[in-house]
Amino acid sequence: MAYQALVPVCLLFCFITLTFANNNLNNVLFNGDYEFIDLTYPFDNKTIYWPNAKDFEFTKKVEYFQQDGSWYAANDFAAGEHGGTHIDAPYHFSASGQYVGQIPLDKLIVPLIIADLSSKVNDDPNFVLYKHHLDYILNDNLGKPCLIVFKFGWSKFAMNKKKYLGLSNDGLNFPGISAEVAEWITTSYKNIVGIGVDVASADPGSNRDFPVHKIMSRAGLYIIENVYFERQIPEYGCTAFVMPMKIALGTGAPLRLVAICPKQSPEHF
Ligand SMILES: [Zn+2]
């Protein structure tokens, strides 16, 4: 090949190399414009579990300084699938649905939309979310696959299990989603792959028929429960990392839920 012919080849190679370098995700994530926001409760003896589930059991096994002065520690834990911040796999309410271990990553790393309803809920445990509450989202064409998390403003009650679950002789009582909204989510072609709530169930606490769980599961969507809103988070523009423990045959699993968001200027807080 003539020398002159090599020049464009080299230029092309340089262009490809530079383009890949600029598109490197690390260059975007760590340039100072983004922050990581944890939406997960810690797992400990205060973690709230669904009433018939096994609480988080943490057993200190060994911890000691070895003869050479180095430290060694290891523990055991055991827990139900459905407690704390966790995912419900479609198999939870659909016999043909996916187990936790089968949910593909492209449904777990997705754009995140927060529907902040806390001012509408106004701490009312009887609040049920209907479509008319979501007009501002209905008018928005979401486009890409996404996770939508409904914020009822319930995280502030998490230190008080009785209040958080609305425990009484009649059972449970806390805000939730109507079947109408669940139908909209699964039939509106808005590419919603999963939903989340900052309460213990997607269905209202007092509803024993679990219509939202059934509709979501049958449509192949997952549900995230007990999302922890410790601080303000943008409603749009974040990416969700939904990372459940990969329990192969799980109907649900403990979840580490993280959002990567554009850094907000201080006046937003
Ligand atoms: Zn669950």
Domains of the chain in start order, with CATH, are: 35-57+77-268 (3.50.30.50)
For 80, counting Cβ atoms within 10 Å of its Cβ (0-12 exposed, 13-18 middle, 19+ buried), the class is: middle
> Ligand 1 centre from 187 Cα, in Å?
22
> Ligand 1 centre from 207 Cα, in Å?
14
Interval 152-177 mean pLDDT:
96
Task: Quote the pLDDT of residue 269.
Answer: 47
Percent of the chain at pLDDT > 90 equals 81
Structure tokens at 171: 């059972």
> Ligand 1 centre from 213 Cα, in Å?
9
Task: Quote the pLDDT of residue 189.
Answer: 72
Task: Quote the pLDDT of residue 181.
Answer: 96
> Ligand 1 centre from 147 Cα, in Å?
16
> Ligand 1 centre from 225 Cα, in Å?
6
> Ligand 1 centre from 89 Cα, in Å?
8
> Ligand 1 centre from 47 Cα, in Å?
14
> Ligand 1 centre from 36 Cα, in Å?
25
Place of tokens 């995700």: 25
> Ligand 1 centre from 256 Cα, in Å?
14
Averaged pLDDT score across all residues of the chain:
91
Residues 43-82 pLDDT 10s:
999 999 998 899 999 999 999 999 999 999 999 999 999 9
> Ligand 1 centre from 22 Cα, in Å?
41
Q: Is the pLDDT of residue 129 over 80?
A: yes
Long-range contacts, 44-47 (Cβ 8 Å, 24+)? 46/159, 47/79, 47/83, 47/84
> Ligand 1 centre from 224 Cα, in Å?
7
> Ligand 1 centre from 85 Cα, in Å?
9
Strands 109-116 and 146-151: parallel
Task: Quote the pLDDT of residue 46.
Answer: 95
> Ligand 1 centre from 88 Cα, in Å?
5
Interval 192-221 mean pLDDT:
97
Residues in the chain: 269
Interval 163-191 mean pLDDT:
93
Q: 150 pLDDT band (50/70/90 cuts)?
A: very high
> Ligand 1 centre from 77 Cα, in Å?
19
CA nearest neighbour of 177 among 161, 155, 165, 195: 195
